[in-house]
Structure 1
Amino acid sequence: MLTAALVALALASVPRPFTVDDLLALERAGDAAVSPDGASVAYTVATSSAGGEKLVSALHLVPAAGGAARRLTFGEERVTSPAFSPDGRRIAFLSNRKGGTQAWVLDLQGGEARRVTDLPGGVSELRFTPDGAALVVASDVDPACGADAACNRKADAAAEVRPHLTDRLLFRHWNEWRERVRTHLVRVPLDGGPAVDLTPGDRDAPPVQRGSGDDLAFSPDGKTLYYVAVSDPVEATSTNGDVYAVPLAGGTPRRVTTAPGWDGSPRPSPDGKRLAWLAQPRAGYEADRFHVMVAAADGSGARDLTAGFDRSAADLEWARGGKALRFTAESEGVHAVYEVDLAGKVTELYRGRNLARVSWSRDGARLAALVDGLAAPPEVAVLEPGARGPQPRLLTGFGAKGLTGVALGEVRPLAATGKDGQALHGWMVLPPGHRDGQRHPAVVLVHGGPQGAWNDAWSFRWNPMLYAARGWTVVLPNPRGSTGFGQAYTDAVRGNWGGTPYDDIMRLTDAAVATGAADGDRMCAAGASYGGYMVNWINGQTDRFRCLVAHAGNFDLRMAYYDTEELWFPEWELGRPWEASEAFERWSPSAFVGRWRTPTLISHGEKDFRVTVTQGFAAFTALQRRGVPSRLMVFPDEGHWVLKPRNAKVFHDEVLGWIGRWLESPAPQASAPR
């Protein structure tokens, strides 16, 4: 009896493998926001609803010095975007607790939250005005109605009984039709007065295709709102976003910046005499390097403070009373925080854990953020860059709570050399309990973008720990096109989609095999978006993989140009098909179907307007007619990503099952084409 109890106790102490259910059960921290004085941090926590149909979330508040968190909302709702009032006594947030997403305000001294907007188009961004008397929100409106709620409801009702009609491009975006409505900024008085459309007209201001709440700011005197809008007439082909200024009381907008690329994140200095912003110099290029610019408040005399700094800036804020600016940047697979003074001297203040949803205190001395890693789910933390011990101070412990008794893989950096001598970067995740000298089946995961990167960051979509838990070595390559390794490294994918990036992936895969931890005879590859494209490309270039998984991947680049909505992307990367037919043909996986032999799982969302589902249908048809073992998985209610927890469960189970089937069986042989 005692022996059995001891055995049971010993077994209970042995860490168990990480599972899909573990991933989906984790509480998800989100939307960290620090109070103006830096003393408190608001954040959201999301969990799966009972049926897995959606994520539900609640708002929490925690002292920045650490301590017990206080839950502020309790409904079956989705809460996002917390924002403190200027005096720190109230929090505004977005909630769908009564249908469409609207803005709510909660007094931190007590009482219930009250809804302060009732806009038919919902609300997607919000900011308190400097006097705390109103909110400026982003809402979808009929341009003929502006902020008139009754007019918008009538227009919405009329649109329900007609087909989609449009006479302009960007008539749909991501997973929604937008042929009729525009996103405008609306000032909503908290005393119940009439709402005012601050950006009227037949264009999106702010843009739906790029930008966020970071692109809204107020002058210190509270009289002016700075925002971003696309200046070119055809939004689907342009990345020319400029900073505009409009009187907060309403009036005629004034264009502040005039550069050909994207200008965003406007930041008036504390004294209101200067304006800083982030700028991409090149027109049409969404992944160009963001430079830190500073000028007079009217935009005149602009200077580039980071001209010689080869990293892309984000999360901009003034610091040291207006003597410097602070920002974050990806750098070689991790995140860093920098300060640049007005003479252009850049100083690194912090390098380490991945930072997301960054929020600065009013003086720029403290930031709140989500911090995570490949082996660490997101936690809410504060960081005081440059202070003693400048490491994030965790305020939550969701990972420790949700992963107790769970074994995670070991993360190691991976290096290789490109055919041109370029140093290449990646990561390996080794199975739990790995010992040097052990060789495991391997899975190569290709990131999307292509201008993206495998950073030391957690993922709820493509989580390498799930693959490592199956006893597989996971290879995470950062080929040319990846971000965080200098702009030339990022630029190198242009016009070269299946060339150097493919070769880089193969070289990093070879490097993983050379370590002895990856079995070169038992490998599969998987990826999504550009990663899905690359998987389709791999099928026509090499037989080294036993199986492939392509989610939301392009198959025929010529048709993909005509299918997608953000046309500036293919036009920058490859050109226009009628002018650059050779490039579209050269890098299109469809041109190499005659070589396809590798068993492939094709996955897609039916509501995906970025890479349309017909691309997935076409790839599956090619596989079937070639006689290649293949499977098609289509989610009718998903777009470019698989977001609903119940769908994510199916997705992960199918992908892991498919890979396991081929890694654990003899090498497959394709049958003859049918």
Structure 2
Amino acid sequence: MKKISILFSLLFLNLTAITATAQNNQKMTPELLWKLGRYGAGVLTPDGNNIIYTVTTYNLANNKGEPNLFSLPVNGGPSQQITNEAGGKDILRFDEATGRITYWYDGRIWQMNSNGTNLAMLTVDQKDDFENIRISPDGKKIIYTRDVQIQKVLGKDKYADLPKANAYVITDLNYRHWDTWANGKFSHIFLADYDNGKISNEKDIMHGEAFDVPQKPSGGLEDLIFSPDSKNIIYVCKKKSGKDYAQSTNTDLYQYNIATDETRNTTQGMNGYDTQPQFNHSGSHMAWLSMKEDGYEADKNDIVIRNLKTGLKVNLTAAWDESINSFCFSKDDSKIYFIAVHNGTEQLFSVDVKVPSATGQSVTQITKGQWDVTSIIGQSGSKLIVTRTDMNHAAEIYSVDLSTGNMQKLSDINDKINNRLIPSKVDERHIKTTDGKDMLAWVIYPPDFDPTKKYPTLLYCQGGPQSALSQFYSFRWNFQLMAAQGYIVIAPNRRGMPGHGVEWNRQISGDWGGQAIQDYLSAIDDIAKEPFVDKERLGCIGASYGGYSVYMLAGVHNGRFKTFIAHDGLFDLKSWYGTTEEIWFANKDIGGNYWDKSNLKAQKSYLKFNPSNYVDKWNTPIMVVQGGKDYRVPNEQGFQAFQAAQLRGIKSKFLFLPDENHWVLKPQNAILWQREFFDWLKETL
């Protein structure tokens, strides 16, 4: 009996070990990907000892996300969930004396201790239309945005006796943007008195102007701030309308004086994007990100700083050959820390601002490694608190030793899942292009990669076209997930990518179908030389400009690829120019309209770089994906591509997502997208 018991125990231990090993050798699946928690935003408590941050988890059954607040010690230790109610929470204020947190949730203002206890609702009346809320540094004022009806666009608004008329009456451009039709409402900043949750005496500081704050579609709370002395409001706005709005990127920084009710443009004459205004801690200087060229949304982004006493304005990064994503002042105001793409990764840098010169300051790189530093939360002593990703890990919170650049992981948002997964190997590969340049590419291998075997391989085409291809972690175009299904992925930093100097980034404008497409062919030809790549099973995938690239490559690949997948890609440039909304983008990147025959740059794009002109050469299976609310790359692009493939007798599939825009945001649609994506690859590759 004793022997049987011992044998049973040994068998049980062996089974347990096998089960544990199996659990620690899982591969990523679409369903598992959507179980990951997603870091949202974080702030440091005033004492610098704790980080309060948001994590969103997704409920597939309810088809929505559920964000909650967590607390994490800066010096290490377990995180603590401090809210449990489904719905977004925005931190408004910390009380240094009491340690209480004031935050916005469910249309009301609440307070609680930093550990989530002693919860109190301060505002009684629900205000569901409030967004982008800030309380002034002195705690006496509050600003927020909400939509105001300024113009009459809908038929029922113009004619009171036609309440069911839902037609749009349009007389100018910019009648729709991103995924929303212009209905005559504009987002305005409201200023009000604030007293421990009580809001009174509100007024619209934009006085009925037909302009939006924040900027649509991607602007947010960073577009409106209080000055440190609570006397002024700085906000970002593009005060243009109609055709002028559609053809310009010229946002400015406006200063509203609370006492005088007066507004002035503080960046008059600066013609590109001016965004992300920030004051230093003493209130003596203000810095912001600035682009020079109107109409060029991917221009170099520099840090400009102004001495508020003398008025001296200096471009701190004028001499640096890269573009800045975001920044913050050091605690002592002597430096600015910023994030920028450099050599295929996003890293942390600093620039000295103590004695700014007319030619700008030298830039110091702080972090180095195969990862992306994705956001700066704040400074705690000699550490900067940031978030970091790589192609195997979604965002987690790290501390950076500012003297050494060493990084320490603080959060454990997805450790339980990540610890069970086999990570994919990611290699940096350098490829010679057809014009003799050196091009970086990322190669992602299956988690159980065996170099003696042959693998189907995917060429990934990035969008933008001037978006970085760094160590990002996407919840849709997820390289870890693709590799886990048995594919090698090659993702080249082709012409147009930031992080390789301004000229490399600029070169794609007006040359969409030129060198960048040759760079893609160079990348797939280079990786195909490897013995572990199955040259008979090469696929090509991408979205937006990446989708354009897929359509273009389908006509010029000369038999390299066995299958294609294009998501929200530009198929016909002429019809796209006639239906897209941000005309500045088309004017810069395509070269202009199609009817001006004297514009040789534009005529070259419409003739030589137009994918629809190469459909007669299509001969390869293609899957087309199109979002129904994508007004940047509207419906007709996907419809035309699929119809052309069908009429050409090419094996093809069309995935139409009527409620999605340029992205796929709804959880169940995202799972469907990934299932259809991999089903198509299994079927055709």
Same fold (TM over 0.5): yes
Give the drift of 1:454. Answer: 2.0
Do 2:92 and 2:104's aligned partners in 1 also have CA atoms closer than 8 Å?
no
> In the alignment, is residue 70 of structure 1 matched against residue 76 of structure 2?
no
2:167: which partner in 1?
163
Coordinate RMSD, CA, aligned: 2.8
Q: Which residue identity lines up with residue 106 of structure 1 in the other structure?
A: Q
Q: Percent identity?
A: 29
Amino acid at match of 2:377: S
* Cα distance change on mapping 1:157 and 1:324 into 2, 3 Å: farther
Deviations 1:22-41 (A, max 9, x none): 11111222212223442221
The equivalent position to 2:39 in structure 1, one of 14, 29, 35, is 29
Displacement after TM superposition at 1:380 (Å): 2.5
The aligned runs of 1:240-389 (5 Å cut-off) are 240-249=250-259, 251-258=261-268, 259-297=270-308, 300-319=311-330, 321-341=332-352, 342-343=356-357, 344-352=361-369, 353-361=371-379, 366-384=383-401, 386-388=402-404
SS across alignment from 2:660? coil
1:566 matched to 2:573? The reply is no
The equivalences for 1:202-601 within 5 A come to 202-209=210-217, 211-233=219-241, 234-249=244-259, 251-258=261-268, 259-297=270-308, 300-319=311-330, 321-341=332-352, 342-343=356-357, 344-352=361-369, 353-361=371-379, 366-384=383-401, 386-388=402-404, 390-542=405-557, 543-574=559-590, 575-579=592-596, 580-601=602-623
Distance 2:165 2:108 in 1: 29
Q: For structure 1, which segment, 432-441 or 6-15, has the greater mean C-alpha deviation from structure 2 after superposition?
A: 6-15
Unaligned runs of 5+ in 1: 146-152, 664-674
1:631-672 superposed Cα distances (whole Å, 9 cap, x missing partner): 111112211111111111111010011011122xxxxxxxxx
Structure 1 residue 81: Cα displacement? 4.3
Given that 1:339 and 1:348 are in contact with CA atoms closer than 8 Å, whether structure 2 keeps it comes out as: yes
Is it true that 1:140 corresponds to 2:158 in the alignment? no
Contact 1:318–1:364 at 8 Å: present in 2 too?
A: no
Contact 2:572 2:637 in 1 (8 A): yes
8 Å contact from structure 1 (residues 119, 139) kept in 2: no
Picking from 623, 631, 647, the partner of 1:609 is 631
Give yes or no for contact 1:415–1:508 (8 Å, CA) kept in 2. no
1:315: how far off?
A: 2.1
The residue identity in structure 2 corresponding to 1:640 is H
Q: Identify the residue that residue 148 of structure 1 maps to in structure 2.
A: none
Q: Quick check: 59-68 or 625-634, which moved more?
A: 59-68
Is contact 1:34-1:367 (8 Å) kept? no
In the superposition, relative to structure 1, how do residues 559 and 71 fare at CA in structure 2: closer, same or farther (>3 Å)?
Answer: same
Matched position secondary structure for 1:642: coil
Q: CA shift at 1:74, angstroms?
A: 1.7
For structure 1, which segment, 82-91 or 534-543, has the greater mean C-alpha deviation from structure 2 after superposition?
82-91
Given that 1:18 and 1:408 are in contact with CA atoms closer than 8 Å, whether structure 2 keeps it comes out as no
435-444 or 445-454, which deviates more: 435-444
1:620 aligns with 2:616: no
Compute the displacement of 1:127 (Å): 2.5
What per-residue deviation string (whole Å, max 9, x for no partner) do you get for residues 404-424 of structure 1? 332232111121012222211
Q: CA deviation at 1:253?
A: 1.0
Q: Aligned to 2:332, what secondary structure does the other structure show? A: helix
Cα displacement string for residues 84-134 of structure 1 (whole angstroms, at most 9, x for unaligned residues) = 447484545554x4xxxx463433264335375979773442322111233
Deviation of the 1:21 alpha carbon: 1.3
**Among candidates 59, 64, 80, match of residue 54 of structure 1:** 64
Q: Which amino acid aligns with 2:68?
A: A
Please, what TM-score do these two structures have when normalized by structure 2? 0.88
Give the match's secondary structure for 1:647: helix
Instruction: Give me the whole-angstrom Cα distance separating, in 1, the residues matched to 2:577 and 2:101.
Output: 43
Post-superposition shift, 1:68? 2.9
Matched position secondary structure for 1:17: coil
Change (3 A) 1:50 1:339: closer
Shift of 1:230: 1.2
Deviation, 1:50, is 4.5
C-alpha distance in structure 2 between counterparts of 1:655 and 1:241, whole Å: 38
Any gaps of 5 or more consecutive residues in structure 2? 1-6, 597-601
Asked whether the equivalents of residues 128 and 134 of structure 1 are also in contact (C-alpha less than 8 Å), the reply is: yes
Provide, for residues 406-459 of structure 1, a one-character-per-residue CA deviation record: whole Å limited to 9, x for no partner: 223211112101222221111011111223343311011111101112211211
What is the TM-score normalised by the length of structure 1?
A: 0.89
> 2 CA distance for matches of 1:657 and 1:115?
51
Distance 1:194 1:143, change over 3 A: farther
Amino acid at match of 1:204: D
What residue is the counterpart of 2:4 in the other structure? none
Q: Distance in 1 between matches of 2:102 and 2:387?
A: 20
Do the aligned partners of residues 355 and 293 (structure 1) sit closer, same or farther apart at CA in structure 2, a change above 3 Å counting? same
- Residue aligned with 1:652, SS: helix
1:178 is matched with: 182
